[in-house]
Amino acid sequence: MDATFEEAYQKELQLIDRLKSLKKVLVAFSGGVDSTYLLAVTQEVLKKNCKAVFARGAMISKREQEETLALVRHLKFPVEVIDYDILALKEFRENPKDRCYFCKKKIFEKFKNYGDRFGYSTIIEGTNSSDISDFRPGRKALQELSIISPLLEVGLTKPEIRVLSQRRNLPTWNKPSLACLASRVPYGDRITENLLQRIADAEEILHQKGYPEYRVRVHGNIARIEIPVREFPKFLEEQSEITTPLLNLGFRYVTLDLMGLRTGSLNPIESED
């Protein structure tokens, strides 16, 4: 084992010990790198004393929902799907800077209600130590609800989780990071079902064109595309094949952000990474 894997593996052993101490848990599952790894390890350790919950709603594109459920079937994960009308939440629609706090609080309250009904008093989720430098108001909601973040507790980073996921042959090991569709909307701009669908449709165009990572941030009638800088030559060669369908979605302007793909580029300036 190389030094990088050895360090990650030692943290995984700590994770296993931590999970053993929890006895019976409900895992908040999104289908992303972190929660898939966490669920795989938890199921291995706790077996029938582990179950997962997946919140399905308008904040996730239909394709990502389908991919997540296909992953569940492929890995034979014990996952309960809980449908959530996120647009019924006023704070989500009004989109304040702490939107994620209200959203996370409601979703995890639903998870807790489910856990209480079926005897899962402990809920865990996949925040890792690479996340703590980002602007994440949802962390406060997790703390208020006593949700446990074992990957963070043992100090696992996103790169380490990818290494360990690859070692376990998890298909998500190199999956791009996921984010709620609302993260494409500037704080203060009202969020509607139509807007979320238009963002999902715009990003599907980039997906179909073969871009592995992307965000379409929406500023009124402007679609601001973020892709890795290395993809710029490809984009410029086929720009009309992307801009035309985006214009057909109702955008008046389509721009390429010269700063490239950035996590949380709409976060408050003082909190940007």
- Predicted confidence at residue 270, as pLDDT, reads 46
Mean pLDDT of 134-153: 91
Give the span between the Cα atoms of 170 and 178, in whole angstroms: 16
> Which has more confidence, 102 or 272?
102
Q: What is the pLDDT of residues 64-90, one digit of tens each?
A: 999 999 999 999 999 999 999 999 999
Give the span between the Cα atoms of 260 and 237, in whole angstroms: 17
Give the span between the Cα atoms of 23 and 61, in whole angstroms: 34
Tokens coding 230: 């290395």
Cβ count within 10 A of residue 257: 15
Q: What is the pLDDT of residues 12-33, one digit of tens each?
A: 999 999 999 998 999 999 999 9
The percent helix, strand, coil of the chain (3-state, each to 5) is 50, 10, 35
pTM for this structure? Answer: 0.93
Q: φ and ψ at 52, to 5 degrees? A: -125, 160
Q: Give the count of alpha carbons within 13 A of 242, CB side only.
A: 28
